[in-house]
Amino acid sequence: MIQRVQTIYLALAFICMVLLLFFPIFGIEMTSVSGDVNFMAEFGKNGIVGEGYEEGNLPVSYIYIGLALLTFATLLMYKKRPRQLLLCRLNLILHVVFVLGVYAFYYFGKSFIQEGIKNTLGEDTTVAFSMEIGFFFLIPTIAFLYLAIRGIKRDENLINSLDRLR
Protein backbone atom coordinates (compact mmCIF):
# COMPACT_ATOMS: atom_id res chain seq x y z
CA MET A 1 0.00 0.00 0.00
CA ILE A 2 2.74 2.44 -0.90
CA GLN A 3 0.24 4.58 -2.80
CA ARG A 4 -1.67 5.51 0.36
CA VAL A 5 -1.91 9.04 1.74
CA GLN A 6 0.28 8.31 4.76
CA THR A 7 3.18 7.73 2.38
CA ILE A 8 2.84 11.31 1.19
CA TYR A 9 2.69 12.61 4.76
CA LEU A 10 5.76 10.60 5.78
CA ALA A 11 7.62 11.78 2.67
CA LEU A 12 6.79 15.41 3.50
CA ALA A 13 7.96 14.90 7.10
CA PHE A 14 11.20 13.37 5.77
CA ILE A 15 11.74 16.34 3.45
CA CYS A 16 11.20 18.80 6.32
CA MET A 17 13.76 16.96 8.43
CA VAL A 18 16.31 16.91 5.60
CA LEU A 19 15.80 20.64 5.02
CA LEU A 20 16.80 21.27 8.63
CA LEU A 21 20.29 20.12 7.65
CA PHE A 22 20.60 23.09 5.29
CA PHE A 23 18.90 25.92 7.20
CA PRO A 24 19.68 27.27 10.70
CA ILE A 25 16.93 27.25 13.30
CA PHE A 26 17.66 30.60 14.96
CA GLY A 27 20.36 33.22 15.27
CA ILE A 28 21.88 34.72 18.40
CA GLU A 29 23.29 38.24 18.53
CA MET A 30 24.95 39.72 21.61
CA THR A 31 25.66 43.44 21.81
CA SER A 32 27.33 45.51 24.48
CA VAL A 33 26.05 48.78 25.92
CA SER A 34 28.14 50.81 23.48
CA GLY A 35 26.38 49.12 20.56
CA ASP A 36 29.32 47.05 19.35
CA VAL A 37 28.43 43.57 18.19
CA ASN A 38 30.43 41.19 20.32
CA PHE A 39 29.09 37.89 19.08
CA MET A 40 26.85 36.59 16.32
CA ALA A 41 25.98 32.92 16.01
CA GLU A 42 23.48 30.55 14.43
CA PHE A 43 21.90 27.48 15.90
CA GLY A 44 21.78 24.91 13.13
CA LYS A 45 23.05 21.51 12.18
CA ASN A 46 26.42 21.94 13.95
CA GLY A 47 24.96 23.30 17.17
CA ILE A 48 25.77 26.90 18.03
CA VAL A 49 28.30 28.14 15.51
CA GLY A 50 29.61 31.69 15.40
CA GLU A 51 32.55 34.04 15.28
CA GLY A 52 35.22 32.90 17.70
CA TYR A 53 33.05 30.07 19.00
CA GLU A 54 34.14 26.49 18.56
CA GLU A 55 31.62 23.92 17.39
CA GLY A 56 30.17 21.67 20.05
CA ASN A 57 31.18 18.07 20.55
CA LEU A 58 27.73 16.78 19.63
CA PRO A 59 26.31 18.50 16.56
CA VAL A 60 22.55 18.76 16.38
CA SER A 61 22.71 17.29 12.88
CA TYR A 62 22.97 13.84 14.48
CA ILE A 63 19.50 14.35 15.92
CA TYR A 64 18.17 15.58 12.56
CA ILE A 65 19.67 12.63 10.73
CA GLY A 66 18.38 10.16 13.33
CA LEU A 67 14.84 11.53 13.14
CA ALA A 68 14.99 11.66 9.33
CA LEU A 69 16.19 8.04 9.13
CA LEU A 70 13.46 6.94 11.51
CA THR A 71 10.90 8.71 9.30
CA PHE A 72 12.37 7.06 6.20
CA ALA A 73 12.30 3.63 7.87
CA THR A 74 8.67 4.21 8.80
CA LEU A 75 7.97 5.17 5.21
CA LEU A 76 9.41 1.89 3.94
CA MET A 77 7.38 -0.30 6.33
CA TYR A 78 4.15 0.04 4.36
CA LYS A 79 3.63 -3.75 4.28
CA LYS A 80 3.71 -4.08 8.07
CA ARG A 81 1.13 -1.60 9.28
CA PRO A 82 1.30 -2.38 13.04
CA ARG A 83 5.08 -1.91 13.04
CA GLN A 84 4.75 1.19 10.85
CA LEU A 85 2.24 2.62 13.32
CA LEU A 86 4.56 1.88 16.25
CA LEU A 87 7.56 3.52 14.57
CA CYS A 88 5.49 6.50 13.51
CA ARG A 89 4.26 7.04 17.09
CA LEU A 90 7.82 6.72 18.40
CA ASN A 91 9.00 9.20 15.78
CA LEU A 92 6.24 11.63 16.74
CA ILE A 93 7.14 11.42 20.45
CA LEU A 94 10.86 11.92 19.77
CA HIS A 95 10.16 14.80 17.43
CA VAL A 96 7.85 16.53 19.93
CA VAL A 97 10.52 16.19 22.64
CA PHE A 98 13.14 17.64 20.27
CA VAL A 99 10.91 20.56 19.24
CA LEU A 100 10.01 21.33 22.86
CA GLY A 101 13.72 21.33 23.72
CA VAL A 102 14.57 23.69 20.87
CA TYR A 103 11.68 26.04 21.70
CA ALA A 104 12.54 25.98 25.41
CA PHE A 105 16.12 26.92 24.59
CA TYR A 106 14.89 29.64 22.24
CA TYR A 107 12.52 31.22 24.75
CA PHE A 108 14.30 30.54 28.04
CA GLY A 109 17.95 30.29 26.94
CA LYS A 110 18.29 34.03 26.49
CA SER A 111 18.44 34.66 30.24
CA PHE A 112 20.98 31.85 30.77
CA ILE A 113 23.23 33.16 28.00
CA GLN A 114 22.93 36.73 29.28
CA GLU A 115 23.74 35.58 32.81
CA GLY A 116 26.81 33.69 31.60
CA ILE A 117 28.04 36.70 29.62
CA LYS A 118 27.62 38.99 32.63
CA ASN A 119 29.64 36.58 34.77
CA THR A 120 32.49 36.28 32.28
CA LEU A 121 32.68 39.76 30.76
CA GLY A 122 31.36 41.78 33.67
CA GLU A 123 29.55 44.23 31.42
CA ASP A 124 25.91 44.79 30.58
CA THR A 125 25.10 43.03 27.32
CA THR A 126 21.87 42.29 25.56
CA VAL A 127 21.10 39.04 23.84
CA ALA A 128 18.76 38.97 20.84
CA PHE A 129 17.43 35.78 19.30
CA SER A 130 16.10 35.85 15.74
CA MET A 131 14.08 33.14 14.05
CA GLU A 132 15.61 31.66 10.93
CA ILE A 133 13.87 29.59 8.25
CA GLY A 134 14.67 26.26 9.91
CA PHE A 135 12.54 27.34 12.87
CA PHE A 136 9.47 26.97 10.68
CA PHE A 137 10.31 23.44 9.45
CA LEU A 138 9.94 21.96 12.94
CA ILE A 139 6.16 22.28 13.41
CA PRO A 140 4.92 20.93 10.04
CA THR A 141 6.82 17.71 10.65
CA ILE A 142 4.74 17.07 13.78
CA ALA A 143 1.55 17.68 11.81
CA PHE A 144 2.66 15.38 8.98
CA LEU A 145 3.55 12.60 11.41
CA TYR A 146 0.19 12.95 13.16
CA LEU A 147 -1.66 12.80 9.83
CA ALA A 148 0.37 9.73 8.84
CA ILE A 149 -0.64 8.01 12.09
CA ARG A 150 -4.28 8.75 11.33
CA GLY A 151 -3.87 7.32 7.80
CA ILE A 152 -2.22 4.15 9.08
CA LYS A 153 -4.99 3.67 11.66
CA ARG A 154 -7.61 4.17 8.97
CA ASP A 155 -5.97 1.49 6.79
CA GLU A 156 -5.72 -0.89 9.73
CA ASN A 157 -9.40 -0.38 10.58
CA LEU A 158 -10.35 -0.99 6.94
CA ILE A 159 -8.38 -4.25 6.81
CA ASN A 160 -9.87 -5.39 10.14
CA SER A 161 -13.41 -4.69 8.93
CA LEU A 162 -12.76 -6.68 5.75
CA ASP A 163 -11.42 -9.58 7.83
CA ARG A 164 -14.64 -9.63 9.86
CA LEU A 165 -16.67 -10.02 6.65
CA ARG A 166 -14.83 -13.18 5.61
**Where in the chain are the domains?**
5-50+59-159
What's this model's pTM, rounded to 2 decimal places?
0.78
Instruction: Quote the distance between the C-alpha of residue 40 and its chain's center.
Output: 22
Q: Across residues 43-57, what is the average pLDDT?
A: 58
- pLDDT value of position 123: 65
* Per-residue exposure over 20-58, b if at least 16 CB sit within 10 Å of its own CB, e if not: beeebbbbbbbeeeeeeeebbbbbbbebbbbeeeeeeee
Q: Is the pLDDT of residue 60 over 90?
A: no
Q: Is the pLDDT of residue 28 over 60?
A: yes
Q: Is the pLDDT of residue 96 over 90?
A: yes
Q: What is the mean pLDDT of the chain?
A: 80
Q: Is the pLDDT of residue 61 over 70?
A: yes
Q: Is the pLDDT of residue 160 over 80?
A: yes
Q: Across residues 131-157, what is the average pLDDT?
A: 89
